[in-house]
Amino acid sequence: MKKIFISISILVITGILGMLMYNNITSEKTYYTETKFGKISELVKKNDRIILFVEQDGCSSCKLVKPIINNYAKENKGIVYSVTANKEKDYNVQSEKYHIEGTPTLIYFKEGKEVYRTNTGFTEDEFQNTIKKVEF
């Protein structure tokens, strides 16, 4: 009986450790800054250039582009800001104000003005081409 208890305890501990290790491996540090729709105007005025990443919980395309955005944010600190649209109280009003038609949406602002926008998924190459195109 004692051997069975020890064996089960070892299996449970091994399972818990495995889950913890898996979570650490799969959860990458976020390098972009999370914000709210209400703060975007201030950020656009205050910064020479920003990229606004509008996402939603449960959006599969958002999950695919998130690592691309995160890698760019890692190399370019203070440029990328994220809003999780479906967590915003006044989402409908703000989505109209910023013309959000779907997620993921990326809005590129330079010197206080929108210079480019995309509202669909994209690859790393497409993202890099856009960065070059808008001279970020």
- Indicate the number of domains in the chain: 2
State if pTM tops 0.85. no
CB 79 within 8 A of CB 134: no
Q: At 4, is the secondary structure helix, strand, or coil?
A: helix
Same domain membership, residue 124 and residue 87: yes
Residue whose pair of structure tokens reads 């020479």 in the numeric block: 48
Same domain membership, residue 66 and residue 15: no
- Domain CATH code at residue 105: 3.40.30.10
Chain-centroid distance of CA 120 in Å reads 14
Angle between helix axes 60-75 and 124-133 (nearest 10 degrees) is 50
* pLDDT at residue 24, as a whole number: 52
Which residue range forms the structural domain that includes residue 38?
A: 33-133
Same domain membership, residue 68 and residue 118: yes
Structure tokens that stand for 64 in this block = 């695919």
Structure tokens that stand for 130 in this block = 């856009």
Higher pLDDT, 10 or 24: 10
Same domain membership, residue 60 and residue 5: no
Specify the amino acid at residue 130: T
DSSP state of 29: P
List pLDDT tens digits, range 75-123: 999 999 999 998 888 777 888 888 999 999 999 999 999 999 999 999 9
List pLDDT tens digits, range 18-51: 776 655 544 578 999 999 999 999 999 999 999 9
Same domain membership, residue 55 and residue 105: yes
* pLDDT at residue 8, as a whole number: 81
Same domain membership, residue 74 and residue 51: yes
Same domain membership, residue 64 and residue 19: no
Same domain membership, residue 104 and residue 46: yes
Same domain membership, residue 105 and residue 84: yes
Q: At 37, is the secondary structure helix, strand, or coil?
A: helix
Q: At 119, is the secondary structure helix, strand, or coil?
A: coil
Beta pairing, strands 105-110 & 49-55: antiparallel
Q: What phi and psi, each to the nearest 5 degrees, are found at residue 29?
A: -65, 140
Same domain membership, residue 24 and residue 91: no
Same domain membership, residue 95 and residue 69: yes
Same domain membership, residue 77 and residue 11: no
Q: What stretches of 27-79 show up as alpha helix (H) in DSSP?
A: 40-46, 60-75
